[in-house]
Amino acid sequence: MTQGLSIQTDLLLANARHYQARLFRPGAPRKPRTGLAVLTCMDARINVYALLGLSEGDAHIVRNAGGVVTEDVIRSLTISQRLLNTTDVMIIMHAACGLREITDEQFTAEIEADVGLRPTWRAETFHDSTSEARHGVARLRSSPFLHHATGVRGFLFDETTGALREVG
């Protein structure tokens, strides 16, 4: 671990103590108040709570590289719906996602060249964020594990303007 990371982590821990002392309000429900689950990219430019006007306890937020519907996303959303009563899913892709700039084959080859092993998983790259949002919606709607597949909708966030628009 580098010294810079340690200092940054210490600052974040101080923020957590401030949150606990001054901002934390116990009693947020375990089951999301809105019945909403959101899947989006891990990109740090997407502040899901601010974008959607959410607070703690309002929604489940699932993030991964690209906001791609993977088996683990289906697992998380199935648990969200079946055990915690969510009914709606928003998939929020973003226009300038880094996964558009590489292929699965390139990424796998780079990892294999670096560590000598091929990963057992795929990066799930894509070329068009809007098409990937539509693909994710279709995949979730066709999943036999989700109770509320009709409540799945796809969106595209523009990180240059802050606009969020639904993809048909």
Note whether 77 and 151 are within 8 A (CB): no
Q: What is the pLDDT along the chain (168 residues), one digit of tens a residue?
A: 455 668 889 999 999 999 999 888 888 889 999 999 999 999 999 999 999 999 999 999 999 999 999 999 999 999 999 999 999 999 999 999 999 999 999 999 999 999 999 999 999 999 999 999 999 999 999 999 999 888 999 999 999 999 999 998
Cα–Cα separations (whole angstroms), residue 55 to 41, 60, 66 = 19, 11, 23
Pick left, alpha or beta for residue 159 (phi over 0 → left; psi -120 to 50 → alpha; otherwise beta). alpha
DSSP lists the bridge partners of residue 167 as 154
DSSP lists the bridge partners of residue 91 as 39, 154
End-to-end CA distance of the chain: 45
CATH of domain 28-167: 3.40.1050.10
d(Cα 22, Cα 20) in Å, to the nearest integer? 6
Q: Where are the domains of the chain?
A: 28-167
pTM score: 0.90
Contacts of 148 (CB under 8 A, 6+ apart): 81, 86, 87, 88, 89
Contacts of 130 (CB under 8 A, 6+ apart): 93, 156, 167
